[in-house]
Amino acid sequence: MMPRLDLAGVVGLAMTLLALPAAAAPSRAELEERIQRLEAAAQRDDSRALLDLSRQVDTLSAELRTLRGQVEELRQQVARQAAGQRSQYLDLDGRLADLERLAQQSATPPAASAEPESEYRLALDALKAGRLQEARSALEGFLAGYPGHELAGNARYWLGEVHYAERDFAGALAIFTAVAADDSAQKAPDALLKAGFCQYELKRDDEARRTLIRVGQLHPDSPAAAEAARRLERMRAEGR
């Protein structure tokens, strides 16, 4: 590669050549031609350096964009997981509060029937405290001992919530579907909603979408309908 010369160097060289004896000095035309060649060479070197630098910047920019995309994708995954866990436990706690109020508002039964409601409240206490195995055993015992009790439908719903909290979505779906089939049941809207949630967790997106839409159609004024609408919006945002 020809040595790089800046403009000052070129001019200096030209002055040196012009100071040579006339016999040794080249003609003015030759000098101008040489100067032009030197200037062109210097410009080519600068252009190559700038081009190399531009390519390096482009490469680094592309790598940075890729890294930023990967970080954003990981951030969204973590946010979705955290939101899913939070929604699950908020659903559970809210519905526990509803049923506790129902048990407290019910008329005081005769002494002979006090035991089933006491067992029911103990099962709800265990579930609220996160003692899932204890809650499951208590709810299953309640249903086996008092299948016709007025709280049996609610107990069955909460048994589904136990399976849901244990991430046994298939088992929970079977229970929620059975509760939702009785339109007159107090927990029918919530059971239908949670059936849609189970289908969502099981990646059965078409079924989940249809179930969540049915919540709004069958129980339009219920809190479950509002939650179903939020889950449908979340599915759209996730491209599901």
63-100 confidence digits (pLDDT tens): 777 777 777 777 777 666 655 555 565 566 566 665 55
Choose which CATH entry (1.20.120.420, 1.20.1300.10, 1.25.40.10, 1.10.10.10) describes domain 87-237.
1.25.40.10
Determine if the pTM surpasses 0.85. no
Question: Which is more confident, 104 or 240?
Answer: 240
CA-wise closest residue to 200 among 233, 222, 226, 175: 233
> What three-state secondary structure class fits 214?
helix
Per-residue pLDDT tens digits for 155-164 = 999 999 999 9
Q: For a pLDDT cut of 90, what percent of the chain falls above it?
A: 50
The mean per-residue pLDDT over the stretch 214-223 comes to 95
HSE, CB side, 13 Å, CA atoms: give it for residue 122: 14
Q: Domain residues of the chain, as ranges?
A: 1-86, 87-237
pLDDT at 70: 78
**φ/ψ (deg, to 5) at 110:** -60, 160
Cβ contacts of residue 229 below 8 Å, gap of 6+? 212, 216
- Asked if the model's pLDDT at residue 181 lies above 60, the reply is yes
- Least confidently predicted of 41-50, 121-130, 180-189: 41-50
What are the CB-based long-range contacts (under 8 Å, 24+) for 39-47? 39/7, 39/10, 41/2, 41/4, 41/5, 42/4, 42/5, 42/6, 42/7, 42/10, 45/1, 45/2, 45/4, 46/4
Reduced to 3 states, what is the DSSP secondary structure of residue 220?
coil
Cβ pair 225, 211 in contact under 8 A: no
Q: Mean of the per-residue pLDDT values for the chain?
A: 79
Q: Which residues are CB-neighbours of 99 under 8 A, at least 6 positions away? A: 124, 154, 158
Grade residue 117 by pLDDT with cuts at 50, 70 and 90. Answer: very high
112 backbone φψ class: left, alpha, beta (φ>0; ψ -120 to 50): alpha
Res 240 pLDDT > 80: yes
- Give the pLDDT band of residue 59 (cuts 50, 70, 90): confident
Residue type, 41: A
pLDDT exceeds cutoff 70 at 132: yes
Q: Place 45 in a pLDDT band, splitting at 50, 70 and 90.
A: low
Tell me the pLDDT band of 33, cut-offs 50, 70 and 90.
confident
Could you tell me which residue, 199 or 54, shows the higher pLDDT?
199
- Provide the token pair at 131: 């003692």
pLDDT score recorded for residue 29: 74
Q: Are 173 and 199 in contact (CB under 8 A)?
A: yes
pLDDT at 74: 75
Query: Using N-to-C axis directions, what is the helix angle for 223-237 and 188-201, rounded to 10°?
Result: 20
Predicted pLDDT at 66: 79
The answer on pLDDT for 11 being more than 60 is no
pLDDT at 131: 95
Closest CA relative to residue 151, chosen from 122, 193, 111, 131: 122
One-letter amino acid at 108 equals T
Distance CA 189, CA 180 (A): 7
Residue whose structure tokens are 């479950």:
224
What is the per-residue pLDDT for 161? 97
More reliable by pLDDT, 37 or 139: 139
